[in-house]
Amino acid sequence: MKVLIAGGAGFIGSTVASACADHGITPVILDNLATGRREFTEGRIFYEGDICDGALVDRIFAEHPDIRTAIDCAALIVVPDSVANPLGYYRENVSKGIQFLEHLVRGGCRNLLFSSSASLYRADPEDFSVDEDSPVETLSPYARTKALFETVLCDVAASGALDVVSLRYFNPIGADPRLRSGLQIRTPTHALGKMIDVHHARETFSLTGTDYPTRDGSGIRDYVHVWDLATAHVRAIERFGAITREQPYRVVNLGTGRGTTVRELVTAFESVTGVPLPVVETARRPGDSAGAYARAELAGELLGWKAEYSLEDGIRDSLRWYDRRDEVIGAGG
């Protein structure tokens, strides 16, 4: 069995590719390497190019007619960047995505797994948990691109052209446990990445936003290990027909079911490293929200999946990858 992974040279896409390979599914990678890494495609079938390049996608299906499922991980994902450059985000995450769908339909690919985001939810004001039926409240252009593209997918699925499972990721951390790949961005914008950077530089961590209506005033997130996310994709591929048999468009949360505030993340980070982390409190970033965590029962029901790795596992593997990264992608990469 083969699967086409658009964005398969990025952090999540490359980890999904590894999980597929480990389970006997051959990944075929399509990536323009805007943020992905060629090193993450080593030993795999790889096509360098854009998801909107119809001739290239046609070629992929001509050379691999046994592809029945595609995974769309190709997107821009940084919330503050989306506030500064909304046109770029709508072009990359919506316009090009629509063209990719047209290429999939032309290539006879019936099944699509879409990398969506929990950032589009309005959280329960009592405990900040959300399920797949929770209301949508998009607070950034990034989140709006995900919500808009999900609307497109729902309509396309209703037409009978594709069956779609939209996987709403919460907050990925960690790395491939075998350290084949991990976060390739050297200046991460998410909390754990910044903690790791300032920890190694012996600097101070900026806690952005301390006036949210959470239990300690800091934002709350559901930190899910990227390997858990990757194995969820494998389960979805294996069960795709059953998942979409009655509904051609399904939304599934991928999270741990546990909410962790940023202050609690600092505490967990200190417990793993054994070193205090200096913290300074600052204002919220543009487009940020209080956050949410998953009610993930549907993933168990439909995918037979639940998160296995702990928060501390994710921190530990992120630190291991930081130490290994330059060996994989080079010090100047």
Active site residues: 142
User: What six digits make up the tokens of 295?
Assistant: 């009610």
Cβ–Cβ under 8 Å, residues 44 and 21: yes
Residues in the chain: 333
Residue (of 316, 242, 255, 228) closest to 19 by Cα position: 228
CA distance 119 to 122: 8
Residue (of 301, 303, 175, 310) closest to 232 by Cα position: 303
Spatial neighbors of 64 by CB under 8 A, at least 6 apart, are 2, 4, 28, 45
Cβ–Cβ under 8 Å, residues 107 and 57: yes
State CA 107 to chain mean position distance. Answer: 25
User: What six digits make up the tokens of 174?
Assistant: 């960690």
Nearest 5°: the CA angle 144, 165, 19 is: 105
CA distances to 190, 211, 214, 319 from 183, rounded to whole Å, are 11, 29, 28, 11
Q: Beta 293-294 vs 129-130: how paired, if at all? A: parallel
- Between the two ends of the chain, the Cα-to-Cα distance in Å is 33
